[in-house]
Each structure stands twice: as C-alpha cells, then as structure tokens.
C-alpha cells in the first residue's frame, strides 16, 4: 500500500515516483460505485474501469460489443465511489481507429467521467494516437501482449513472446509507447522472462496480468480476485475468497426461508 494520505487522489507523478523507489503498483478493476469504494478503501493504487465489463458485467463472450457509452457510464460510477486511487478508463473497441477520433472519444471520457487517464490496446500502430492524446493533456496507459480487442485477429487467447520474433516486436512496442508518452504499460500474458526484461528496460511502470511476478505492478479483474464468477477464473488468477459461494448460500437460505415462513398462501377468490 502506498504511503500517500488516504484523502489524496493519487496522480501520475505518484505512480512514477513509486516506480523510481521500487514500490509495486497494485491495480484492480471495478465497474460500479460500491466495488470501487471497497477497492479504494483497501488500498489499491490504481483502479481500471476495464472493457472486461463486457464479459464480467454485461455477459458478452468478448469485449468487442462494449460501447463508449458503456464505458462512460461505468467509469462515472467508479469515480463517484472512489476517493484515493488513480482511475483509468479503457477505450473500447472501435474508439481509437485513428488519432483524431481517439482524441475526440478520449476527451469525452475525461469530461464525462472525471477519470485521470485512459488505456488503449495496441503496439506500434497506436504510437501516433498516444502522442496525440498526450499532446492534448490526456494521460495514457498503453497495453501490449494479449490484447483482447484483437482476439479474432490474433486467433484466440495465448501467451505472447515465446519466440524471438514475437519477443522482438514486444520490446520494440514497449520502447515506442514509452517514447510516445505513455506513463505506464500493461503487459498481458507475456512470458515472465520477457516481461521482466521489458520492465528493466523501461523507466515507466509495467503492469502485469498473467505475466509473472517481475513486472513493476499487477492488475487483476476484481471478480477473479474475490471468486465472484460462475465459471473458472484464468489460470494465473488465484481467488482469495469464494464470494460466489457466499452469494449462492445467502440467496438459497433466503429463498428457503421465504417459502417456509409463509407456508401455503390462501388463494384470494375474485368476487364478480
């Protein structure tokens, strides 16, 4: 947990300082005000309003159907529920097709939600977009490796950086995105050895997810962390609780008690 005072919203300068002094960055997702408040009170340094809400909240198979309006609605709720963590909002599929449209959409996110930064997926192709956003005062988190918005192009979900061609591309992308002005970079499902190499290579923090323990920080989907799922979590996520089991138990008891306590309810006969 950071040493910052509880009432102070963390900034990109605070995150940079954490990297410089070797303090790990703890990041989690949240999609509503209540969960944001709980994550915030528990000491998370950054909260990501991820487009993973498409899978976790909205029931889609991928993140692709998530809209800009979806992200804005949920990010605004997270802002209302939190007071300390630096907030990052994902830019959804189709919102960063070119630097100009990305800037328009990012400005809308910033104005309508109050978050401190946006996150966008992609490597070299995203460099001009990152530069454009940063030049207009928008803090950016980059995201390489497994990028769920490109799942069909990539051919599924798998570990990245296994061969030298893939590893070389990821190194190049990381350097370019840092040079473009990103203040942090998510490494998703990158081989641990390569993730460690990239972390040591950059001055900005790397935020790993499924990329081993040697990144400068880590992010997880909150539902995977607390066991609030109806299907198994990813192999790299170790649930710390069984909230889904607690919910099933509580609801089951409520249903049973409601039916038992009221017994047969007399039928109200209609009088014509």
**Which secondary structure element, helix H or strand E, spans residue 224, and what is its range?**
helix 222-226
Number of Cβ atoms within 10 Å of the Cβ of 159: 17
**Catalytically active residues, by annotation:** 188
Cβ-contact 117, 138 below 8 angstroms: yes
Buried b (16+ CB within 10 A) or exposed e, 128-150: ebbbbbeeeebbbbbbbbbbbbe
How many Å from the N-terminal Cα to the C-terminal Cα in the chain?
Answer: 69
Distance CA(109)–CA(104), nearest Å, equals 9
Distance CA(88)–CA(48), nearest Å, equals 5
Q: Angle at Cα 48 formed by Cα 182 and Cα 145, nearest 5°?
A: 55
Of all residues in the chain, what percent are helix, strand and coil, respectively (each to 5)? 45, 15, 40
């Amino acid at each position: 947990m950071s040493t910052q005072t509880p009432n102070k919203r963390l900034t990109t300068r605070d995150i940079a300082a954490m990297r410089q002094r070797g303090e790990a960055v703890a990041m989690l997702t949240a999609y509503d005000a209540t969960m944001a408040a709980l994550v915030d009170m528990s000491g998370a340094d950054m909260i990501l309003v991820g487009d993973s809400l498409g899978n976790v909240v909205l029931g889609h198979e991928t993140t692709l159907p998530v809209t800009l309006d979806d992200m804005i609605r949920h990010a605004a709720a997270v802002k209302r529920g939190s007071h300390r963590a630096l907030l990052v909002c994902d830019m959804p599929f189709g919102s960063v097709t070119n630097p100009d449209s990305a800037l328009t959409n990012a400005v809308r996110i910033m104005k309508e939600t109050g978050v401190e930064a946006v996150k966008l997926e992609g490597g070299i192709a995203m460099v001009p977009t990152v530069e454009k956003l940063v030049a207009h005062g928008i803090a950016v988190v980059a995201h390489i490796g497994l990028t769920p918005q490109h799942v069909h192009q990539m051919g599924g979900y798998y570990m990245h950086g296994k061969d030298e061609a893939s590893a070389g591309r990821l190194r190049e992308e990381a350097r370019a995105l840092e040079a473009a002005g990103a203040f942090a970079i998510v490494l998703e499902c990158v081989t641990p050895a390569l993730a460690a190499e990239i972390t040591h290579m950059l001055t900005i923090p790397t935020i790993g997810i499924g990329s081993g323990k040697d990144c400068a920080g880590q992010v997880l989907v909150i539902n995977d962390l607390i066991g609030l799922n109806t299907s198994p979590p990813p192999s790299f996520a170790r649930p710390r609780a069984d909230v889904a089991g607690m919910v099933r138990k509580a609801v089951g008891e409520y249903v049973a008690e409601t039916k038992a306590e009221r017994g047969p309810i007399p039928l109200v006969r209609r009088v014509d």
